[in-house]
């Protein structure tokens, strides 16, 4: 029974990693969560299995990493939109900061996840893609207002999630990543709130 489970897990791993149809809707975040949960359920020190199927952290810690990666990817993509579609200089500059800061954090998280056996999403989730699509339809001041609103909401949620991670994560390196990244997220929120105030004067 254990052998069948591991064979099934390996087959699922291969399917999730590379056998999707690019024409179909694909939620990389959900797939990463599913894969990490599968790894967590099959990992057993007494059984010799493929290295890629071993996760060195709890599934809750892995879930944080997936959420953080998805959010980081989204901030980069939306930041690029702001650079091209924003009207106000400060919105464009904020978009540039998002691309720079979140790209750097994403690279750190990717390296950390690899060392822990955590699968991360390669593309943004369906909900983040929907937000990106909606923003891409706007330009000028309409874009600025919608982007600012989205960034305030996103960073408020991110700060709450990262603060919780600092308190609750079990893996010390993931906890350290959350602690080091949290002040940057708070700085981003303060910056976008200032831009919001300036646009309503």
Sketch the domain layout of the chain as residue ranges: 57-198
Whether the per-residue pLDDT at 29 is higher than 80: the answer is no
30, exposed or middle or buried, with CB in 10 Å at 0-12, 13-18, 19+? middle
Fold of 57-198: Ferritin (1.20.1260)
Whether the per-residue pLDDT at 144 is higher than 90: the answer is yes
Contact of 59 with 169, CB cutoff 8 Å: no
Token pair 């004067």: residue = 201
- The whole-angstrom separation of Cα 67 and Cα 80 is 20
pLDDT in the model for residue 55:
79
Tens digits of per-residue pLDDT, 186-200?
Answer: 999 999 999 999 876
Tens digits of per-residue pLDDT, 55-108?
Answer: 789 999 999 999 999 999 999 999 999 999 999 999 999 999 999 999 999 999
Report which listed range, 38-42, 49-53, 90-94, is most confident.
90-94
Per-residue pLDDT band at 181 (split at 50, 70, 90):
very high
Per-residue pLDDT, averaged over 119-142, amounts to 95
The candidate with the shortest Cα–Cα distance to 75, out of 104, 34, 108, is 104
Give the least confident one: 5-9, 123-127, 130-134.
5-9
Residues composing the chain: 201
Per-residue pLDDT, averaged over 106-123, amounts to 94
pLDDT in the model for residue 56:
87
């Amino acid at each position: 029974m254990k052998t069948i489970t591991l064979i099934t897990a390996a087959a699922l791993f291969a399917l999730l990693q590379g056998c999707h149809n690019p024409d179909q809707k694909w939620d990389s975040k959900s797939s990463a969560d599913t894969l990490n949960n599968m790894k967590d359920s099959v990992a057993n020190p007494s059984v010799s299995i493929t290295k890629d199927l071993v996760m060195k952290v709890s599934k809750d810690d892995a879930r944080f990493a997936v959420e953080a990666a998805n959010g980081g990817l989204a901030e980069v993509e939306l930041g690029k939109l702001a650079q091209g579609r924003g009207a106000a200089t400060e919105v464009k500059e904020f978009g540039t900061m998002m691309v720079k800061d979140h790209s750097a954090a994403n690279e750190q998280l990717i390296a950390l996840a690899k060392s822990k056996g955590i699968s991360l999403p390669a593309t943004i989730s369906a909900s983040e893609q929907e937000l990106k699509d909606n923003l891409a339809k706007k330009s000028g001041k309409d874009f600025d207002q919608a982007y600012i609103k989205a960034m305030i909401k996103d960073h408020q949620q991110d700060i709450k999630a990262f603060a919780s991670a600092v308190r609750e994560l079990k893996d010390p390196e993931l906890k350290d990543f959350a602690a080091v990244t949290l002040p940057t997220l708070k700085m981003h929120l303060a910056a976008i709130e200032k831009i919001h105030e300036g646009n309503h004067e």
